[in-house]
Amino acid sequence: MDDLPAGFRVVTRSQPAPADDLPPGFRFVPAAAAGAPEQPSVAVDVAKALPTGAAKGAIGLAGLPGDVQHMGSSLVDDIMLGIGHKVMDWTGLGPQAGTPERANFDRMYRGIGSGGGLPGSGAIRQGVETVTGPLYEPKTTAGQYAQTVGEFATGAAIGPGGLARKAAETVIPAVVSETAGQLAKGSKAEPVARLAGALAGNLGTAAVAARTDAPARAIGTTAGRLTPEQFNRAEALAETGRRLGIPLTGPEAIQQATGGATKLADVQRFVEGSPQSVVLAEMMAARPGQMRAGADAAFDTIAPQSLQPSTLGPRAAAAAQGAIDDVRAGINRATRPAYDEAGRHVLDRADFEPIAADPAFQASLRRLRSDEVLGPAYAGQPDNSVAVIDAVTKDMRDRGVALGNRANPGFSSQAAGLYEGGAAEARAIARDPSRGGVQAYDDALTAQAQARRQNLEPLEQGPLGAIAGASDTSAATAAVLPRRPQVGGEGELADAITRLAARDPDVVGPLIRQALANQADASMTRLVGGEAQGGGARFAKDVAGTEQQGRNLDAVLAAIERGRAPSASPRKAVSELLDVLRATGTRKPQGSPTDFNAQYRAEIGGETLPQQGLTALRTGGRSMLANAGDAARRAYLGRNNATLADLFAAPDSVQQIRSIVAQRAQTPVADAVLRAAVQGQAARR
C-alpha cells in the first residue's frame, strides 16, 4: 500500500467492481491484497474463554436477583401501560395510538412498576468492565464451548457429589446447551434452544445420578429407613468387633444395632450362597477361631486360666462355709450374755417334771453326760438348769433331723417327730416364767432366732450356701452362674462373691473365669461338618440369654472388679464380647439349597462352544439367543453378588452402606432444575 499517491484511501471488497463505481479520491484494492485477519489459536482461545466464562457466570449469578426483579418490573409496566392504552383508545381521551404524543406518554410513564434497586447482571458487568476493560469474547467454536462450560460452572455448588460428578454436571449441560445454540445460531430460537439444552443436559445427569446399580438398589431397599443414630450404633459395634479381633459384616452389625429392623440379613444369606462369595466364605471360616481367641482375651481380664481347675470348687466351698460360720459365730457372740444369764436359772422340780419324764429328753441327756467333749462342760450344772435344758434340746433337734432323713440307716419319721416335739416343749417351759422358766432365756432365743432369720439363713439357703455345699468345681461354677436363675437374685450373687473374696481372694476370679470358659467350650463345640460358626452367639445366649442371667453376670463381674483400675474392667470386656457375639448370631443359616443349586448347575452345566453350535443348528438359532441371554444374566448376577460380598466383608462396610442409603435421600432432579435455572443466565446470551 505504500505505492498509493498522497490523498488516496483504500476500500476493499470481496469482488472487484468497476472503477467508476468508486467515489472520487478512492482506489479499489482486492481484499486479499489488504491482508486477511489472522486466525486465533484454538488453544489460546479456549484458555482465555474458559476463565472469562467463569467470570461471566459469576456475574450472572450475582445479578440473578436483580434480573428477576427487573423482569417483574417490566411485566408490571407492560400490564399498566396496556391498561392505559385500552382506556385512552376506548374513551378517546389522551394521546392516541400511532401519534408522537403516545410515544412520549410511554417514555414518560414506563418504569411506574415495582422497579427495585437491585443491580442486574448487565449493570454488574458494566461495572466490572470499567475496571478490567471489555471481557474477552471467544473467536473460535471451541472457545465458545469453553466459555459456556466456564459460565455453567456456577451451578456446580448445587447438590451433593464429588469432583467427578460436579464436572459431569457442569460439562454435559454446557455442551448440550452450546450445541443447541450453535444449531439455532442467529435465529430467534437460539435463546430458547440454549435454555432447553441446559435443562436437558441437567436432567440427563440427574437421571444417571438417580439410577443406582443393582447392588446399591438392594441395599437401599433393605436399609433405606435407618436413622443416623442406628447407623452410629452399628458403626460403633463394628469397630468393637475389629478391636476384639472378631470382624463383623455390615449387615450383622446393623441387624444387631437395630434389633433386626432391616432385611440385610436376607441379602447376606443369598449372597453367601452364591458361587462368587469367596470373600465371605473365607471370613466365616476364620470366625470360630476368632471367637475363641476373643473370648479368651475377655476372660483373661477376670483372671488367668487356672492350671488346677479341679481344686477351685473345693476351695470355694471351704471359703463359703467359712463365711457362713463367721456369721453364725457372730450371732452366738451377740446372744451369749443373754444365754449365760438364763443358764444360771434352775427350774423347780415340779416345773421340771414334765421335761424329765420325756423319754427323748432322757436319751439326749444321757448322751450329753457321757460325751467326752460336752459332758465336762456341764458336769457342775444340775439337769433342771436352763443351761443343761438348752444343751439337751439342741441334741434332740439334731436327732430329729437325722432320723427324719430317709437316707439315714436309722430313719424313723415317728421317732423324729418325738425328738423334735419334745425339744420344742422343753424350751417352751424353760422360757416361760409362768411355767417355771425365765424371761432371759426367752430373750436369748428370740434374739438368736431373729439374727439367724435375717443374717444366717439367707446365706445358707442362697448362692453362698450352694457354693458351700458344692462337692466339685462343676457344682461351684453352677452355683456362681446358675443356668436357671431366680429373678431378682443378682444381689445375693454379688454378696456371695464379696464374702468369698473376703475369705479367699485368690479363688473368686479363677472360679468365675472357669465358669465362663467351661460354658464357652460347651457352646462353641465343633460340629460334624466342621467348626461351629454360630457357637459365639450360642455362648452369649447360654450365659446371658435371659434378662436375669444378664443381670447376674453383670453383678458378679462388678463385684470382682471393685478396686481394679478402670482400664482393666472385666465387666466392660465381657459386655463388649457378648455384644459382638450376639451380632454374629444375626447371620441367617443357608436354609434350602434349591436356588443355590440352580446357580451352580448353570455355572457348571453349560454346553461347550461346539455343542452350542450343533444345538443352534437343530433349533434354527433360537438356542443361541437363549444361551446369550442366560449367559448375560449369570454374568450380571455373579458380578453383583461379588460386589455385595466385597461390600459386606469390607472393614468399613457399615459406612459404605450408610453412604448408599444417603444417596437415596438425595433429590437429583430438583437439584438439576435449580442448577438449570442458575445456568440459564448464561444460556440466554
Rounded CA separation 324/314 (Å): 15
The arithmetic mean of pLDDT across residues 613-619, rounded, is 57
The arithmetic mean of pLDDT across residues 179-192, rounded, is 80
Q: What pLDDT score does 619 carry? A: 60
Q: What pLDDT score does 599 carry? A: 46
- Which residue do the cell numbers 470358659 mark? 517
Confidence band of 675 (pLDDT split at 50, 70, 90): confident
Rounded CA separation 239/580 (Å): 10
Least confident of 176-185, 394-403, 414-423: 176-185
Confidence band of 393 (pLDDT split at 50, 70, 90): very high
Q: What are the domain boundaries of the chain? A: 1-36, 217-290+590-651, 302-314+463-568, 346-437
Least confident of 117-126, 251-260, 393-402, 541-550: 117-126
User: Burial code of 593-615, b = ≥16 C-beta within 10 A, e = fewer?
Assistant: eeebeebeebeeeeeeeeeeeeb
Least confident of 284-298, 428-442, 603-617, 648-662: 603-617
Give pLDDT tens digits for 518-571. Answer: 999 999 987 655 567 889 999 999 999 999 999 999 999 999 988 676 667 899
User: Burial code of 531-552, b = ≥16 C-beta within 10 A, e = fewer?
Assistant: bbbbbbbbbbbbbbeeebbbbb
Express as a percent the part of the chain with pLDDT over 90: 48
- What is the 3-state composition of the chain as percent helix, strand, coil, each rounded to the nearest 5? 70, 0, 25
Give pLDDT tens digits for 131-150. Answer: 778 888 888 888 778 788 87
Average pLDDT along the chain:
81
Instruction: State phi, psi for 28 to the nearest 5 degrees.
Output: -85, 135
Among 190, 63, 54, 51, smallest CA distance to 122 is for 63
Rounded CA separation 333/331 (Å): 5
Q: What pLDDT score does 66 carry? A: 59
The three cell numbers of residue 54 are: 467463569
Q: How many Cβ atoms are within 10 Å of 376's Cβ, its own excluded?
A: 10
The bridge status of strand 9-13 relative to strand 26-30 is parallel
Q: Is 163 exposed, middle or buried (0-12, 13-18, 19+ CB in 10 A)?
A: exposed
Q: How many Cβ atoms are within 10 Å of 243's Cβ, its own excluded?
A: 12
Give pLDDT tens digits for 210-228. Answer: 555 677 778 888 888 899 9
Rounded CA separation 286/283 (Å): 5
Least confident of 163-172, 363-372, 458-467, 560-569: 560-569
Distances (CA, A) of 262 to 218, 222, 241, 256, 661: 12, 6, 20, 10, 12
The three cell numbers of residue 76 are: 408490571
Residue 93 pLDDT > 70 = no
Which one of 86-90, 578-582, 644-648 scores highest in mean pLDDT? 578-582
Rounded CA separation 330/657 (Å): 64
